[in-house]
Structure 1
Amino acid sequence: MTLQNWFGRGWLALAFATIYIISQATIASTLHSANASHLLFAFQFTYDAASFRELLASISAVQQAGLQAHFTYDHIHPLWYGGLIVTLTAWLLKKNDLGGRWNLLIIFGVIPSLMDVIENSIHEPLLFETAIPTDPAVTIAAICATIKWSMALGYLLMAITLGIRAAVQAKNEKTS
């Protein structure tokens, strides 16, 4: 129950959500202004070096600059959404009176952020062309991106479910 007490505060989840939204909007704006939004996902889900090199060769200088510029914000961005996942999960678990083994969900909430850091550490030198794409590097980055996005979706669905569950419980307590 300690993790829920430390991190499970609605105001803390709201603070991380606010910072995350601002950060995400900044990244999206940076990529959109360079017409590179779709390219970020294409690079993230490219699993082999030949396809990565082909994709890199097909983009414009403006798009490449946009992708490179997004790293200015993306270096700290995992902190914001990792904090959001951890605090929102802890708060919702607390609101639903779920403890014990469920607290692992709080700890595992840092995994998407760690995957993003690994992915960025591989993709950034490739997009700045200071490293040559290799199959192992590109594959590891894509696996990290897949884990990150899959877990983010899972946490989003869990948050919606736990939010609805807490609201229903609160309503039932009011009517009882």
Structure 2
Amino acid sequence: MWVIFLYCTLSLATEFFLGFFQTEIQQNFVYFAFTIVEFTLFSLFFYLSLHEKKFRYIPIIGALLFYGIAISNFAGKSEHIFDSLPASVEAILVISYCILLLYEQIRDPNIIFVYNTKKFWIIIAFFLYFSSTLFLFIYAGSLSEQQRSNYWVINNFFEILKNILFCISFIMKKHYKPPYSMDSLET
């Protein structure tokens, strides 16, 4: 949970300090840096959340792939409008991580109701946000400024929804013991 809290704090600070940068190049550099840090925190969350050793290699391999694409994309562009390719790759990887972590939670015999866990709400927040904004991120680099501002409402809506689901996760009790656990069924 500390990784998600750190992400939320960093996201808020980035939005706050973004207004202090004058040029578009400076703002785009901040977005690029935030994308790298955001993905790093997401990968760390998934790496720490996965229990099976064979699955823990997936976020590491995905991170190496993402860093290579993000750095080459940033270095190869002379005018940085929106980091469309890294954001799209990030979305695809995070959606894959969400599916993997949900699969692992469903297979865990200690979890009867997955929606009673904090991780479930965080995974659903990631899944909804990135699956709903994936195509927006893919096309954002080719949209005009007017089109981007018209369509960016989609991103803003799902960003708010993601934060609401994070709040649900944060306010849940730390250790929830369901009324019908596996231990109580064995009599």
TM range (shorter): 0.3 to 0.5
With structure 2 as the length reference, what TM-score do the two structures score?
0.42
- TM-score, length-scaled by structure 1: 0.44
Structure showing greater relative contact order (alpha-carbon pairs closer than 8 Å, 6 or more residues apart): 1
